[in-house]
Amino acid sequence: MQCPACSRPLKEVTAGDIQVDVCHGGCGGIWFDDGELDQFDEQSEIAAEVLLKEENGATVKTDGKSLRHCPRCENEVLVRQFFDPKNQVEINQCWKCCGIWLDRGELATIRSQFKTATDRAKAINEYADQCMDQHLAAIKQAGKMEMREYNKETSTRFKSFLYGFKQLLGKE
């Protein structure tokens, strides 16, 4: 797989009991396939440490605002969106395969942003509500799409992604 940010080959790295794809020695970005975040669970702290080290070993600077393509899906552009209600951290997500790309430093920022596990959980829940509202508003605005296209599967996958992120953020 190719790095969505600097086009180098991604390297599979074991972090805790999960495997993620990292731009090792490149831009230090991290790719999470759908569901990989879910697996962080109890080892989240160890996993996060491994990944933060990868970010620190980065040598290539990338433009955080440039368009990224999904390393898994052909011709699929990653959607840049705010992760938190305060709109301080942006993440890239593929709405097709639900994979997530974090640029270098984003993981550290996310982890430093919330002081307690309760704060994090609260922020994530608020963010989930906000995203759902935005998503529904966008669909309504599009007009051509039927509401039923916003089906249960989409909703479940999205919740699973947020749950995974909660795990990634770790425990105090």
Residues that bind Zn ion (CB under 5 A): 3, 5-6, 23, 26-27, 70, 72-73, 76, 94, 96-97, 99
Largest separation between any pair of C-alpha atoms in the chain: 47
Nearer to Zn ion, 41 or 95 (CB): 95
Q: Give the C-alpha separation, 34 to 81, whole Å.
A: 17
Q: Give the C-alpha separation, 61 to 160, whole Å.
A: 31
Instruction: Report which of 59, 77, 60 is spatially closest to residue 68, judged by C-alpha positions.
Output: 77
Distances (CA, A) of 68 to 5, 96, 123, 127, 145: 6, 14, 26, 23, 26
Nearer to Zn ion, 20 or 70 (CB): 70
Instruction: Tell me how far, at minimum, the Cβ of 60 lies from Zn ion, in Å.
Output: 6
Nearer to Zn ion, 27 or 124 (CB): 27
Nearer to Zn ion, 57 or 126 (CB): 57
Q: Which amino acid is at 49?
A: E
Instruction: Tell me how far, at minimum, the Cβ of 104 lies from Zn ion, in Å.
Output: 8
Instruction: Tell me how far, at minimum, the Cβ of 103 lies from Zn ion, in Å.
Output: 9
Instruction: Tell me how far, at minimum, the Cβ of 15 lies from Zn ion, in Å.
Output: 17
